[in-house]
Structure 1
């Protein structure tokens, strides 16, 4: 992807601050980057900590690509942070409804062979044992609209440095950020449908969530639950 010089300079400046901090806080065990295609892609990791984007972004940047995250629009309304992430071409999402502007921004990034990072659970997992919960349909809709490949990613460990609810990272003892990038999800069965229905989108989403879970499982102890946690049923 051909990025404007100013945008690259902005990412370089951010990376010069974030990467040393990341390496100070955690060890890295990242594998599977060879599965990242040269084309635009939709990267879909599981979500376990508010610190996830720093390490996922670091991993993507280390391959020579610039990560573009779909993030809740409230972040873009913060005085300093909002201006920074806007200038870095991150993508705001209104979680209360579908944003056409956000879709157009994502399509533009993918059309220029960029990397879109989507946390398909929509939030950090609410599963009691931190397995991936039920995914949302947005990643599949974007994949169908743009034709971009969906790349599942499993990760573990970052939550030990910044547990849910904590504001200050626990830097000692030093933990490990483990990331596994899998091969492209085979969604050809869905893409060849003339008009996929809601059930098809749900099945495709669950297919990808299963692939994410299978990548994550070897990084931690335990067996995934037979029924995926659905926060809508536990309110």
Structure 2
């Protein structure tokens, strides 16, 4: 077989991956555990270094992580969280990764305009999505990830929220991904993340993250696919904000 034929065979989306033959899209159609050995080694080194930095600089504290780790041991879940800083996905993905949980964050494809991000993000398991459109490739990649037992991390607010006065449009695609992947949704909340824009007095504080109980479509008490998706969007985000407000009350001064 020619070298070209081997390349197609090894990186067709279902075959064995090769570190020097795979295209960017192959990192979306394969599980992180299927990545080529050099990429998995790089993945482990990067995660350890970021985890170590987080332990020293940010010292993020998690609540409900043990329960989440146990819950997703044999299945994938869609995790939805409020978004206040770029620290949010970094700390969440890395800390869970160090506990053996593969989390694939959804990120807006605009970041791909940054060369290093376009190369690095997919190789770390992230999934780009074209906002404002039915991005079939992203939906399929997220659905397949759930089927493999990987978690998918989504920020339905779509952007970093810097104040309670900021208008936020909730992007409800996470309920469709959960339904496609036959998954539940785990609400999560974060407060106290360092703020690189210095718009809030939280810089240097310890971020706090809490994971809520999984919400299943069966528990919603609603019939019909569209009605279930709409109710999941409402219930999950209501729980995200309840958890966030609870953290704020228990930790005055953290936003």
Q: TM-score, normalised by structure 1?
A: 0.79
Work out the CA distance in 2 between the residues paired with 1:215 and 1:162. Answer: 20
Relative distance call for 1:54 and 1:99 in structure 2 (3 A) is same
Distance 2:182 2:222 in 1: 11
Alignment of 1:84-233 (within 5 A): 84-125=120-161, 127-128=163-164, 133=168, 135-158=170-193, 161-163=194-196, 165=197, 174-189=204-219, 193-197=223-227, 200-221=228-249
Taking the aligned partners of 2:116 and 2:32, their CA distance within structure 1 comes to: 27
**2: distance between equivalents of 1:27 and 1:126?**
21
Question: In structure 2, how many angstroms separate the alpha carbons of the residues matched to 1:114 and 1:148?
Answer: 11
* Higher mean C-alpha deviation, range 181-190 or range 70-79: 181-190
- Alpha-carbon offset, residue 147 of structure 1: 0.9
1:8 is the counterpart of 2:40: yes
Q: Aligned partners of 1:8 and 1:191: how far apart in 2?
A: 42
Q: Separation in 2 of the partners of 1:63 and 1:191?
A: 33
Gaps of 5+ in 1: 223-235
Q: What are the superposed Cα offsets for residues 171-224 of structure 1, whole Å, 9 maximum, x if unpaired?
A: 97x411111111101421559734424xx53332111111111222221139xx
Distance 1:195 1:30, change over 3 A: closer
For each residue in 1:148-193, what CA deviation from the matched residue of structure 2 results, as whole angstroms up to 9, or x when unmatched?
Answer: 11111111110xx225x459xx997x41111111110142155973
Q: CA deviation at 1:106?
A: 0.8
Aligned length: 213
Whole-angstrom CA distance in 2 between matches of 1:103 and 1:140: 11
Query: In structure 2, the residue corresponding to 1:175 is in which secondary structure?
Result: coil
Is the 8 Å Cα contact of residues 151 and 181 (structure 1) preserved in structure 2?
Answer: yes
Alignment correspondent of 1:229:
none
- Tell me the equivalent position of 1:225: none
Unaligned runs of at least 5 residues, structure 2 = 1-30, 251-255
Q: For 1:45, which of 81, 89, 108 is the aligned residue?
A: 81
What is the CA-CA distance between 1:86 and the residue it aligns to?
Answer: 1.9
Between the two structures, name the one with larger relative contact order (CA 8 Å, sep ≥ 6).
1
* C-alpha contact 2:47 2:98 (8 A) present in aligned 1: no
